[in-house]
Amino acid sequence: MDDTPHQLPSTLLALRAKAAEAGFTLSCEDRTGSLLAALAATRPGGRILELGTGAGEGAAWLLSGMDPASRLTTVELDDGLQAIAREELGADPRVTFVAGDGGAWLEEFDGAPFDLVFADTWPGKFTHLDRALELVAPGGTYLIDDLLPQPGWPQDHATSVARLLTDLDARKDFRCTRLSWSSGLLLAVRTAA
């Protein structure tokens, strides 16, 4: 079976070209994006959080799966990089862009929980993990990627990934599934409040 996604977001090629122009090489992998779109589609009227907008490819995948009543909040530290996403996706009323440190945003956020949290940066994954998980609604999904070795990983990063996976597997309030697929994923569903 070929697992190459066939339904691509209409904005993906433009986002990819602009990311390349900006020298950004860490965009969401297509198979991960396809999963994001499918997960977003399971949440009609859902509240979705993306930590790490990057140039917007993950956001494009999420928006492609969302229904008209769903809402996406996407947070990115690099305002210049997020500007690419705002330019291509900003006309969509379902998305709110937050430019700022994801860790600080997680600490300060006091709104309702999210049905889907995609942590694609350090805050919400390697830092501020407990806070990100607190923001997942009961029955909601937490997804992280980039868990398989990547070129350019810092020397001690494999240890950080192993510790993160162990911590998540030990939680009693989430059911976790590791996927040695795409860039290496972990999907966790909140089982208790």
Domain boundaries, the chain: 26-190
DSSP-based three-state secondary structure for 128 = coil
Q: What is the pLDDT of residues 142-176, one digit of tens each?
A: 999 989 987 777 788 889 999 999 999 999 999 99
Q: How far apart are CA 8 and CA 45, in angstroms?
A: 22
The vertex-107 CA angle with 121 and 45, nearest 5°, equals 70
Strand duo 71-76 + 47-51: pairing: parallel
Whether the Cβ atoms of residue 126 and residue 160 lie closer than 8 Å to each other: yes
If one counts every other C-beta atom within 10 angstroms of the C-beta of residue 124, the result is: 27
Question: Does residue 107 surpass a pLDDT of 90?
Answer: yes
CATH of domain 26-190: 3.40.50.150
**Which pTM does this prediction carry?**
0.95
pLDDT band at 179 (very low <50, low <70, confident <90, very high): very high
Distances from the Cα of 107 to the Cα of 85, 129, 135, angstroms: 24, 11, 11
Strand 47-51 versus strand 114-119 pairing type: parallel
CA distances from 78 to 84, 98, 100, 162 (A): 11, 10, 7, 27
User: Looking at the DSSP assignment, which residues form a beta bridge with residue 139?
Assistant: none
pLDDT of the residue at 193: 56
**pLDDT one-digit tens code per residue, 55-65:** 999 999 999 99
